[in-house]
Structure 1
Amino acid sequence: MDFLTDTTHLHITTWVIALIVFLVAAVMGRESKGRKILHMVVRLFYILIIITGLALFIEWSSSDAMQYGLKFLFGILTIGMMEMVLVRSKKQKPVTLFWILFAVFFFVTLFFGFKLPIGINFLA
């Protein structure tokens, strides 16, 4: 299972695809059959994100457990807000708060992800 933990490429690929599919599903019509299919696809990617993230967490958290734990927590919260946006918008309920929370949690997760030792250092 080294392909899950050697680099972050698989994990980053899964969340980038999930983000794109999520945004497409979020802007589609409420009753669209395509939206329902995309919602199922993004749920599959939630699972893949959690699996790859958990593998990285188990492998690398011994170096800085608290920061990896916070990144994992904010990643789960980001996924939760993505799901809340899709479900509540389908039910025609207000989603502004969930969009804001999604953006905050997403950027905090990115910050921790890039800051951690296995992350990408843009300044070097």
Structure 2
Amino acid sequence: MTHMHITAWALGFILFALAYMMLKQGKEKPAKITQMILRLDYLFILYTGGDLIAYYFNGSPLLPEAIIKGLAGVWIIAVMEMMLVKLRKQKSLKGLWIQFVIAVIIVLVLGFFRLPMSV
């Protein structure tokens, strides 16, 4: 399940980058289609992430860290979605980029260095 989750995240980042670039170039329709596919990928990310977190609910001492990682992951999804919406409306993205970087650092540190990857 871990590999599926990482693959879903990689696909999510690629689709986000594509949609972001298309919006920057003024290609509204292809960006909208890419964003809809990205939203389907969000569901897959949430499913695989939820399955990984469920492992820790059997009395694991790492449960608080797993919950924080899960919340940071949901935070990333929310920020990615808000960035695409604000970009479409041509509003400032500085604060969202800062949030995005902080959340990604939290997720990567907890996911790759603190929590076991063989779940």
Instruction: Spell out, residue by residue over 1:69-98, the C-alpha distance to the aligned partner (whole angstroms, 9 max, x if none).
Output: 100010010111101100110111111111
Task: Look up the equivalent residue of 2:35 and give its one-letter code.
Answer: H
Kindly state the Cα deviation for residue 111 of structure 1 after the two structures are TM-superposed. Answer: 0.7
Instruction: Spell out, residue by residue over 1:20-76, the C-alpha distance to the aligned partner (whole angstroms, 9 max, x if none).
Output: 110111111345211000110111111110000001100234321100010001001
Match of 1:12 in 2: 6
Gap runs ≥5 in structure 1: none
TM-score calculated relative to the size of structure 2: 0.88
Match of 2:101 in 1: 103
Alignment map for 1:1-124 (pairs within 5 Å): 4=1, 8-28=2-22, 29-61=25-57, 62-63=59-60, 64-119=62-117
Identity %: 35
Kindly state the Cα deviation for residue 115 of structure 1 after the two structures are TM-superposed. Answer: 2.2
Aligned-partner SS, 1:48: helix
Cα RMSD between the aligned structures?
Answer: 1.5
Tell me, yes or no, if the aligned pair for 1:74 and 1:109 is still in contact at 8 Å.
yes
Per chain length, whose mean CA-contact separation is higher, i.e. which structure has more relative contact order (CA < 8 Å, sep 6+)? 2
The alignment of Structure 1 onto Structure 2 pairs a total of residues equal to 114
Distance 2:36 2:20 in 1: 13
Task: Look up the equivalent residue of 2:75 and give its one-letter code.
Answer: L
Tell me, yes or no, if the aligned pair for 2:76 and 2:104 is still in contact at 8 Å.
yes
